[in-house]
Amino acid sequence: MKYTRLTKEQFDSLSQEFINFLATQSITAKEWESIKKSQPKVAEQELDVFSDLVWEGVLSKAKYLENTSKQQLFLFRILKSEMNLIVVKITNTGVDISTKEGYAWLQENFASDDVTFYTASKDFSEDKKLDIFSLIQQGAVITKGQLYEFFKGII
């Protein structure tokens, strides 16, 4: 398995896609129930393969990622062979931008001396999707990039 197995909730929300996945392998609902009971390892492998397929699709479409901590906002833009990063760092330790109030403070004070911006670029390794997945495992979420583009315009 290249990534991680989807959660039960994710499988539930993708139930029709999973049914289609099994159908491409000529596995009926009845056969699937039998496989789960009599060959649990085979069933686990099927769940893993499906999970990897879903992750591959999601990661190939990701264009922006965000990761927010108390004092920093990491904004990633995914390009063909590299990713660009904007870091928004808050030096006012009384502000926690991971809260609603702190985020509102940032919206009003992004041009203040308490806010510092950093930028960087990094080439992807041989496995771009795994690089993106690693950021997601560290807490990043896929976004539409509004914050990245907003701060890019400021910098």
56 and 76 share one domain: no
- Tell me the pLDDT of the chain averaged across its residues: 94
Q: How far apart are CA 53 and CA 50, in angstroms?
A: 5
117 and 50 share one domain: no
56 and 69 share one domain: no
Number of domains present in the structure of the chain: 2
51 and 96 share one domain: no
Range of the domain at 81: 64-154
The pLDDT tens digits for 4-24 are 999 999 999 999 999 999 999
DSSP assigned state of 99: S
Residue 2 tokens read as: 């290249």
52 and 87 share one domain: no
Contact 90, 106 (CB under 8 A): yes
Longest dimension (CA), the chain: 64
Strands (E), 11-81: 64-68, 72-78
The pLDDT tens digits for 22-64 are 999 899 989 999 999 999 999 999 999 999 999 999 999 999 9
pTM to 2 decimals?
A: 0.87
44 and 77 share one domain: no
